[in-house]
Structure 1
Amino acid sequence: MPYSCTWEDRGVYIKFTGIVTLQEVSDSDDAMYDDPRFAGIDYFIWDAGDVTSLALSDTQVDITAVRDLRASLKKDRLKCAFIAKEQRLVKQLEQYLAKVQALKICWQMALFNDISRARQWLLE
């Protein structure tokens, strides 16, 4: 399994490694959204800093944004920190963030290249 999900006091930390597919992204989303603790969290961290490749097409990236729109209808306040270093993955996350903005998802989202900056932003 190329991801792990760790529940923290105020949020959830999802760590990906290796090659990540749409199925793993969907599974990690389901693990978070379907958990009763999701209603009480303030943030999630989607850490793909050790991912070598995100095996998603542009259409699948957009579908992921639409899935998150559905989740945002149940939880209107959430900070979402995404971490990526690999250039293709950064571009796909930028595409995802643009789609989220176009869909008018009310969550605050930002992209970082390291965990310390992401955690600092979450505390602001």
Structure 2
Amino acid sequence: MPYFCTWEAKGVYLRFSGVVTLAEVTESDDAMYEDPRFADIDYFIWDASKVTSLSLSDTQVDITAVRDMRVSLKKDRLKCAFIATEQRLIKQLEQYLEKTKALKICWQMALFQDIDRARQWLSE
């Protein structure tokens, strides 16, 4: 499995590696969203700094944003930090962030290139 999930005191840290598919993104999202602890968290970190490829089409990226929009209707306060260094993945995450803005998802979301800056933003 190319992802690892750690529940922290106030959030969730998801770390991905290698080639990540839509099925793995969906599985990790579902595991987080369906966990009873999700209702009480303040943030999640989606760390893709070790990902070599995200095997999602543009349409699948948009569908992921729509799925998250549905979850945001139940949990309206959440900070979401995405970490990526690979250029194609950064572009896909930027597309996802643009789609979430267009859908008016109320979560605060930001893209970073390292974990330290992401954690600093989460603590602000």
Q: Which structure 1 residue ranges, 5 or more long, are not aligned?
A: none
Equivalent-residue separation in structure 1 for 2:43 and 2:65 (angstroms): 17
**Equivalent pairs, count:** 124
Could you tell me how far 1:17 is from its partner in structure 2?
0.2
Matches within 5 A, 1:55-70: 55-70=55-70
Give the aligned CA root-mean-square deviation in angstroms: 0.2
Q: Residue by residue, what CA displacement relative to the aligned partner does 1:68-100 show, whole Å, maximum 9, x if unpaired?
A: 001101100000000000000000000000000
**What is aligned with 1:14?**
14
Equivalent-residue separation in structure 1 for 2:34 and 2:115 (angstroms): 25
> Scaled by the length of structure 1, what TM-score is found?
1.00
Aligned residue type for 2:41: I
Equivalent-residue separation in structure 2 for 1:4 and 1:34 (angstroms): 16
**What is aligned with 1:3?**
3
**What is aligned with 1:98?**
98
Moved over 6 A (4+): none
**What is aligned with 1:34?**
34
**What is aligned with 2:122?**
122
Equivalent-residue separation in structure 1 for 2:71 and 2:13 (angstroms): 17
Q: Residue by residue, what CA displacement relative to the aligned partner does 1:39-71 show, whole Å, maximum 9, x if unpaired?
A: 000000000000000000000000000000011
**What is aligned with 1:73?**
73
Q: Residue by residue, what CA displacement relative to the aligned partner does 1:5-45 show, whole Å, maximum 9, x if unpaired?
A: 10000000000000000000000000100000000000000
Equivalent-residue separation in structure 2 for 1:100 and 1:72 (angstroms): 10
Q: Secondary structure at the match of 1:105?
A: coil
Q: Which structure 2 residue ranges, 5 or more long, are not aligned?
A: none
